[in-house]
Structure 1
Amino acid sequence: MCRHIAFVGEPVALGELLLRPGHALLRQSWEPRTQASGVVNADGFGVGWYAEGDPVPARYRRAGPIWGDLSFADLARVVRSGAALAAVRSATLPGADGEAAAAPFGSGPWLFSHNGAVAGWPGSLAATAGTLPAEELLSLEARTDSALLWALVLHRLRAGDAPGPALADTVREAAAAAPGSRLNLLLTDGVTIAATTWGDSLWYLTGPDRVVVASEPYDADPRWRAVPEHTLVTADRVDVTLTPLKEPSA
């Protein structure tokens, strides 16, 4: 399992969102409050952010725990951005992919994260993976369920799907192939945010200067709202829309 967060709004230092609040992503790495499985997220972390005038985000990812990276703490103190996606990771299975397995995954303007686990991995998604072109399979950043889910989402985005449908269709496909999977997905292009709840918690916060979508609140602000299970979230700085996701037919 993992914890993740995305925001779009007025530029802010990354540390103001990810490190400084009382229950920021930093604290969620060792003391998550609403995580459905696992108790420590110490198998890697990452953050992607957008610089003004450049649609392609930068990424900083590491294989170790966020609390042990003093260089990131220093970087987050001074780097400011108007949009970012960050995650701390708890590995589903042992692996040797290192920081390549840490979210956010990215391509072009997109940043992506998966909070959860695919049941029966890897065999359960073998047929689904076979629908991807060989070039896209060979381009996977890591041999993990999250990396394959990202490839499935990206394939749909490249085919012209909007972010919400790309996530929703991927979740339904994976849930049908691997019942019991936990499929909370998070996606941003620096302007909009799309996310799903499927097996774990998700919250959103709207304010005068930002919209935030996160696995759990980073502070006690009463404006935080829980997202119902099996829901697609689409958000920008003006609106947040919640759309129910139907379970796949038996």
Structure 2
Amino acid sequence: MCRHLAYVGPEEPLGRLLVEPPHSLFRQSWAPRRQRYGTVNADGFGVGWYAPGDPVPARYRRAGPIWADLSFADLARVVRAGTVLAAVRDATLAGADAEAAAAPFAAGRWLFSHNGAVAGWPDSAAHLVSALPPVDLLSLQARNDSAFVWALVLHRLRSGDTPAQALGEPVRLLARAAPASRLNLLLTDGETIAATAWGDSLWYRTEPGRGTVVASEPYDDDPLWQEVPDRTVLTASRTGVLLAPLEDPAASPTPGSARAGSPSAKEPCH
């Protein structure tokens, strides 16, 4: 379910990233090529971007399908940005949250998206509410699983975790509570991208001078696209990508294994 994309690099019109490629995120809303769960991503969409000199991103979100929004077509044609996070949504469950349930979620300089589902939601995650302060629970932006995942991530960011740690620890926590969950997460602060591959597809393309794209699936057939292995956390900048393994809580720990996000666990990719 869902498709999402993050880009960091030279300024580009939103449409060049999200609409014009032959298998763009726009087209993935009705004809994804690699989506294994769900078929049509028409339950909402959103795009967040950063204007020069302003660390707080702007967002445009709607509850309906991206192809039906003529205002988005105009916006995508003229707005330019060097960092973008966008998503099209296939709802896990029916709900009344509408636009509030559509990614990207935001707080301060951060944008966040979740592609996947927490298995058995909400029962499977009920005992995890103790991981959040009461004010965070009362401040949930929607009542779906993605909003709860975002609350877990944001709490760790505010506690001082790096982006890779802030994504990796909630993924392990949720995977332990609901092992069949799919937890592909995207996070950006306007300068870098962090992401996890856990149960669904994730790809990246990086090229000096052209920036870095991280996406659920390639939007064209450029041979520079590379698939991220499952159970991986990715960090990316304008110049390259780092990959690190994410420990599966279902697997037995091995002595001396590197912790995801630590320097010894990282593998550079260009």
Q: Is TM > 0.5 for Structure 1 vs Structure 2? A: yes
Shift of 1:35: 1.0
SS in 2 for 1:112: strand
Corresponding position of 1:211:
212
TM-score (norm 1): 0.99
What does residue range 32-181 of structure 1 map to in structure 2 within 5 Å? Answer: 32-181=32-181
Q: Distance in 1 between matches of 2:3 and 2:132?
A: 28
**Bigger mean CA offset, 73-82 vs 125-134:** 125-134
Shift of 1:238: 1.7
SS in 2 for 1:95: coil
Shift of 1:239: 2.2
Q: Distance in 2 between matches of 1:140 and 1:129?
A: 12
Corresponding position of 1:248:
249
Corresponding position of 1:3:
3
Q: Distance in 1 between matches of 2:99 and 2:15?
A: 21
Q: Distance in 1 between matches of 2:72 and 2:178?
A: 36
Larger radius of gyration: 2
Q: Which amino acid aligns with 1:244?
A: P
Corresponding position of 1:238:
239
Corresponding position of 1:220:
221
Q: Distance in 2 between matches of 1:76 and 1:237?
A: 22
Q: Distance in 2 between matches of 1:20 and 1:109?
A: 27
Q: Distance in 2 between matches of 1:134 and 1:229?
A: 33
Q: Which amino acid aligns with 1:96?
A: A
Q: Which amino acid aligns with 2:108?
A: G
Q: Runs of 4 or more off by more than 4 Å in structure 1?
A: none
SS in 1 for 2:185: strand
1:178-202 CA-to-partner distances (Å, cap 9, x unmatched) read 1100000000001000000111100
What does residue range 6-25 of structure 1 map to in structure 2 within 5 Å? Answer: 6-25=6-25
Identity fraction in percent: 69
Shift of 1:104: 0.1
Q: Distance in 2 between matches of 1:230 and 1:209?
A: 27
SS in 1 for 2:35: coil
Shift of 1:4: 0.2
**Bigger mean CA offset, 127-136 vs 165-174:** 127-136
Shift of 1:100: 0.1
Name the count of aligned residue pairs: 250
SS in 1 for 2:71: helix
1:158-215 CA-to-partner distances (Å, cap 9, x unmatched) read 0000000110001000000111000000000010000001111000001222100000
1:99-138 CA-to-partner distances (Å, cap 9, x unmatched) read 0000000000100000000001001111112221111001
Shift of 1:80: 0.2
SS in 2 for 1:85: strand
SS in 2 for 1:26: helix
1:52-72 CA-to-partner distances (Å, cap 9, x unmatched) read 000000000000000000100
Q: Which amino acid aligns with 1:51?
A: A
SS in 2 for 1:130: helix
TM-score (norm 2): 0.91
Q: Which amino acid aligns with 2:242?
A: T
Which stretches in structure 2 are left out of the alignment for 5+ residues? 252-270
Shift of 1:246: 1.2
Q: Distance in 2 between matches of 1:232 and 1:129?
A: 24
Q: Which amino acid aligns with 1:83?
A: T
Q: Distance in 2 between matches of 1:193 and 1:39?
A: 27
Q: Distance in 2 between matches of 1:55 and 1:161?
A: 19
CA RMSD of aligned residues (A): 0.8
CA contact (8 A) 1:36 1:199 kept: no
Tell me, yes or no, if structure 1 residue 229 matches structure 2 residue 225: no
SS in 2 for 1:183: strand
Q: Distance in 2 between matches of 1:201 and 1:177?
A: 21
Q: Distance in 1 between matches of 2:176 and 2:70?
A: 42
